[in-house]
Amino acid sequence: GQNIDQPTEMTATEGAIVQINCTYQTSGFNGLFWYQQHAGEAPTFLSYNVLDGLEEKGRFSSFLSRSKGYSYLLLKELQMKDSASYLCAVIDSNYQLIWGAGTKLIIKP
Amino acid sequence: DGGITQSPKYLFRKEGQNVTLSCEQNLNHDAMYWYRQDPGQGLRLIYYSQIVNDFQKGDIAEGYSVSREKKESFPLTVTSAQKNPTAFYLCASSIGVSGANVLTFGAGSRLTVL
């Protein structure tokens, strides 16, 4: 079966750095997305990785290792508004999206 | 500003009733989707549509129905046949139906069965 694993919840301190991991086992791989979702709101696109390596976008970076079936989202200089759920989604061999359950990130002052 | 509008934000339903969730987009996207979001689970695809008057079942279509009479609109009906309808429903759209396209989501509709 197809499976995506993310930690259920993480806590970090304002101003710090946090890394949210995503491991996947899917039938094929055609890319990986990260979305941010504030409670009760729409998920919004953060990043897309299809090649190995690190993609940096301001305070947020996303890393992919296809050989290890692994990605992480790195958030720097954490702000209170970063409190949200972070969803990992993998595109399989049929170009279907497989979603992880999301990681709820709690930022403390 | 372009976007997706879902309504209502909150909806209560008695058992045995059908309810319809509205989804409208002004992004000129061809593809539209309905997802269900439950605590502790990933998003699950209910239905999707690539073009007007055509739609396909997703992973959990039983108990749901959709229509796509206009490019901008993709309403979802939750029928009485859906045994566990209490959930957060998300509508999304993208330029094309490939999973490689970025999705734009609406703000969601929370349905509670009384």
Contact between A3 and A25 under an 8 Å Cβ cutoff? The reply is: yes
Residue A44 phi/psi, 5° resolution? -125, 145
pLDDT at B96: 84
> Among partner residues A4, A43, A95, which is closest to B100 by beta-carbon distance?
A95
Alpha carbon B22 to chain centroid distance?
A: 8
Residue B64 phi/psi, 5° resolution? -125, 155
Return the residue of A nearest to B4 by Cα. Answer: A42
Q: What is each CA distance from B71 to A56, A96, B28, B30, in whole angstroms?
A: 35, 22, 8, 7
The pLDDT tens digits of the residues spanning B21-48 come to 999 999 999 999 999 999 989 999 999 9
How far is the alpha carbon of A101 from chain B, nearest alpha carbon, in Å? 4
pLDDT at A98: 94
Mean pLDDT of chain A: 96
Residues of chain A neighbouring B104 (CB-CB closer than 8 A): 45
How far is the alpha carbon of A108 from chain B, nearest alpha carbon, in Å? 22
pLDDT at A57: 92
Q: SS3 breakdown of chain A: % helix, strand, coil, rounded to 5? A: 5, 55, 40
pLDDT in tens, chain B (114 residues): 679 999 999 999 888 899 999 999 999 999 999 999 999 899 999 999 999 999 999 999 999 999 999 999 999 999 988 889 999 999 999 998 888 899 999 999 999 998
Cis geometry, peptide bond prior to residue B75 (ω within 30 degrees of 0) = no
User: Within chain A, which residues score under 70 in pLDDT?
Assistant: none
Inter-chain CB pairs, A–B, below 8 Å: 53
Residue B7 has a CB neighbour count (10 Å cut-off) of 13
Contact between A50 and A11 under an 8 Å Cβ cutoff? The reply is: no
Q: What is the rounded CA–CA span in Å between residue A25 and residue A19?
A: 20
pLDDT at A15: 98
